[in-house]
Amino acid sequence: MKPNIILIVVDTLRRDAIQPYNEKARTPNINNFSNDSNVFQDAISPSPWTLPSHASLFTGLYPTEHKVRNLPDMDISTNFFKMRELLRGNKSILLSEELRKRGYNTVASVANPILSPESGFDEGFDVYMQMDYAGINTRYKMDNIRKRYGNLELGILPRIVLDGNVSYLADVLKYFYDTWDNYKRSGQPLIKGGTSILDLILSSSFEQPFFLFLNLMEMHEPYLKSDFLRDVINRNVYTNILDAAGVKNFSQSLIKKYNKAYFEEAGLSDSIIGKLISHLKISGVYDNTVIVLTSDHGQALREKNFFGHGTFLYDEIIKIPLIIKLPENRKIKIKEGYQSLTSLKDFILHQVDNDGTEDTITEDCVFSEENRKRIFLTPNLARFEDIISGTLASRRCVFRNGFKLSVNAEEGSIEEFTLNGSPVTGSEYPQEFNDLLYELEIFRGNDNLKLPREV
């Protein structure tokens, strides 16, 4: 019988938030699950944010190939149909489609609004369910008003009235009311749809073989009630960019609160995953199921003067957990090298087609990339445009043989050259530096990017 496939993406989960990557982490359920599984120590996300990372997971392609990423003419919150067009334009068939062709019942339940059905990620799924936790999805439907009047805050109401846009006024007032009502009922900011997803799964049954894709948002900001209200009411999504640019720095006390809250979220995520695994065992499907537990990216907690994700290719953001349980808890010999989310599609299909017992996911060399964002600048942010623009640069990085080379591809400058996480120089390792530079030269493809010179 073909194995069931469960793919769990814990959005924004960094490695050291869970066991077995950090023995001090308080995630006993994930730790117990890892005892049945294969734990990969060098998994790298192809992108530091959700959309291109998930596209890579489902297509098996890097963002530079599938093109679902930041583009000069793309606003991610309003142009979902372009996402669908890009996904459908890929030569690669999505993982969900491949599994459905093989006779799988395909089901998804996701919490991230960027993964809404409009984005095209529902392709290949028989059932695709999105949890609208705390009315977050409504925020994306308000972008036409936000672009005209700026942040969704109480101060725009008089301007709307003066313009005579009664329909806009009604929409904004309803948005405020629904947001506050949903906020009170949903358990925000601690709970972000994960418990609803769990309840849905526990009350359902799936004809085997099935492919179940889950996206949990508990690890994603906001982490504090004050942040949630500011983010939803004001749509203040640029705070981390201003912090990185040195315009508006987070206080140390606030960073400590964020750190504490982040790891508390890991405990909640662990509880959700633990209940799911217990349900699988009781239902008798655990043994014949491939379970992949990973993340689309991590989260910087201001280790390098940056809080959040996207923008930079720091290890805290692109080094991710990857734990894979095979049927009958089979163990494989993990090869030296790196794992990329781009390889997960073929690895899963290998388990289905070949009853795989070998490591087909580890590679000698893997990449990650970020592309310049196009953001809407409200009047209070417009004066910082040059600073913000410099922070939102295109970046590329490559990992091989313990070395990492990360470059700012707008300036052609080196941002990181490390060996096993420690900074080194090109003069110390000229051959390795030039080899990585050569890999980046090939990886950039047709993108008009600058790279450093050889040493």
The Cα 20–Cα 41 span in angstroms is 10
Kindly tell me the sign of the dihedral angle through the C-alpha atoms of 65, 69, 72, 73.
Answer: positive
Highest averaged pLDDT of the listed ranges 71-75, 90-94, 197-201, 354-358: 197-201
8 Å CB contact between 445 and 396: no
Closest CA to 27 of 270, 342, 374: 270
More confident residue, 231 or 419: 419
CATH superfamily, with its number, for domain 4-361: Alkaline Phosphatase, subunit A (3.40.720.10)
136 pLDDT more than 60: no
Find the mean pLDDT for residues 130-150: 66
Tokens of 54: 């998930």
pLDDT tens digit sequence for 366-377: 999 998 766 655
Query: Helix, strand, or coil here: 25?
Result: coil
- Tens digit of pLDDT for each residue in 244-296? 777 777 788 888 998 999 999 999 999 999 999 999 999 999 999 999 999 99
Distant-in-sequence, close-in-space partners of 238: CB < 8 Å, separation ≥ 6: 375, 381, 388
Evaluated on CA atoms 136, 59, 418, 454, the torsion sign reads negative
Query: Residue 396: its pLDDT value, please?
Result: 97
Tokens 């009853």 map to which residue?
355
Cis? peptide before 452, omega within 30° of 0: no
pLDDT-wise least confident of 9-13, 113-117, 196-200, 365-369: 113-117
Q: Kindly give, in sequence order, each residue whose CB lies less than 8 Å from that of residue 23, ignoring residues fewer than 6 positions away.
A: none
Length of the chain, please? 455
At 290 the three-state DSSP class reads strand
**Is pLDDT of 30 > 60?**
yes
Is the confidence at residue 229, as pLDDT, over 80? no
Radius of gyration of the chain (CA): 22
Residues 58 and 121: beta-carbon distance below 8 Å: yes
